Amino acid sequence: MINSPIRLYLNNKNDEGCRKQSLTWRPPGESQGRRREAEGAGRAGSEEDARAACSGSGAASVWDCTSQGSTASAGKMAAIWNALHKAYLLINYEWADPRVQSLPLMTRPFTVLGLVVAYALFADRLGPWIMRDRKPFELKTTLIVYNALQIIANIYIFYKFGSQFWFTTYSWRCEPIDTSNSPSALEMIRLVNLYFWLKITDLLDTIFFVLRKKNNQISFLHLYHHSNMVFLSWGGVKYFPGGHGTFLGLINTFVHTCMYTYYLIAVIYPHNIWWKKYVTQLQLVQHTMVGLHLAQLFVSNPCNFPMLGPMLLMPQIIFLILLFSHFYQRTYCRKAAQDSKAKAS
């Protein structure tokens, strides 16, 4: 090992004379020691800067200054939490209709949210995983009873909505929410709450698909539509229990009466039913009618119906129209074109 420095002489031809530059090599231990000294000096400088900043803030020590910073951060988090808590109280209690607060599942949104999340997880992941090595259940008797009860419940709500409100006293142009405790207003609350529970029972459609291993029936449209209707009907009961928005319940119960009648016939007589596509057409007509009925309020709102409801519902209606249109075109139009080509060939 060479203990003396190694001098390297570099000639610069651009200069008039020769300039001698020396590069000194040092052992690795010496370089690491110098690096540690530099890092230590940097840390010391940082601590001095911190002490200077703290002394400027009036803190007695660096620890006090750090405590002040932690207290400030905790104060900001507490302020954010308080703001969120106030927003939750405002939305969940002050904006809600006080007449429905004692109804089941109306106090807080978390139960309904958890129910829908559990439903989606079971339909998409857990259910197919449980059934993967099992034979599909037939459930014929169960489906006959279930579809028959759905038909009866939908006919009942449709009849009540129509005979007591939409076909008698309600205005098709604009209808406000009756916020009184009159028998008519309380009857409307009872009906919209019953409609909400009917949307929860609709989730059994998907459960039966899973148990029968009809996973091809569980599309994004199916899951989104069923989940979305639970949230919409829950919000209808909690914030808008009556008035213009209940037109959705009127027309939806009529459509579901036809739909569950088709399901009942398909269980009893499991053959290709010629009017199956008309059920999808009826659903498209339903969403279009609801959308047009809501659109009136964006032009003129003489009854002062709360516009938050239509503003939240209208995008959902448009999205469902697009989804059902895509489903109809893929299921029926393309299939008909393919059948025509097959016959021609």
Q: Where are the beta strands (DSSP E) in the chain?
A: none
Pairwise CA distance, residues 233 & 241, whole Å: 10
How far is residue 52 from each of residues 55, 65, 111, 152, 190, measured CA to CA in Å? Answer: 5, 11, 53, 79, 69
Report the pLDDT value the prediction gives residue 274, as an integer from 0 to 100: 83
Print burial letters for 46-72: b (CB count within 10 Å at least 16), e (below 16): eeeeeeeebeeeebeeeeebeeeeeee
Segments of the chain with pLDDT less than 70: 1-69, 334-345
Number of H helices, E strands in the chain: 12, 0
Pairwise CA distance, residues 224 & 114, whole Å: 15
Report the pLDDT value the prediction gives residue 10, as an integer from 0 to 100: 37
| Greatest distance between any 2 Cα atoms in the chain | 112
Pairwise CA distance, residues 171 & 309, whole Å: 18
Report the pLDDT value the prediction gives residue 6, as an integer from 0 to 100: 36
Report the pLDDT value the prediction gives residue 68, as an integer from 0 to 100: 60
Q: How many CB atoms lie within 10 A of CB 91?
A: 13
Pairwise CA distance, residues 227 & 221, whole Å: 10
Q: Which two tokens stand for residue 257?
A: 């009466």
Contacts 24+ apart (CB under 8 A), 302-307: 302/173, 302/174, 303/171, 303/174, 303/175, 303/176, 303/243, 303/244, 304/176, 305/174, 305/175, 305/176, 305/177, 305/243, 305/244, 305/245, 306/177, 306/239, 306/240
290-311 pLDDT tens trace: 999 999 999 999 999 999 999 9
Q: How many CB atoms lie within 10 A of CB 152?
A: 12
Is residue 235 within 8 Å of residue 248, measured between CB atoms?
Answer: no
Residue type, 330: R
Pairwise CA distance, residues 68 & 61, whole Å: 11
Helical segments of 162-246, H only: 183-201, 204-211, 220-239
Report the pLDDT value the prediction gives residue 67, as an integer from 0 to 100: 60
Q: Which residues contact 127 (CB under 8 A, 6 or more apart)?
A: 207, 210, 211
Backbone angles phi, psi at 216, to 5 degrees: -70, -20
Report the pLDDT value the prediction gives residue 16, as an integer from 0 to 100: 42
Backbone angles phi, psi at 61, to 5 degrees: -150, 170
Which residues are catalytically annotated? 225
Is residue 309 within 8 Å of residue 207, measured between CB atoms?
Answer: no
Print burial letters for 210-219: b (CB count within 10 Å at least 16), e (below 16): bbbeeeeebe
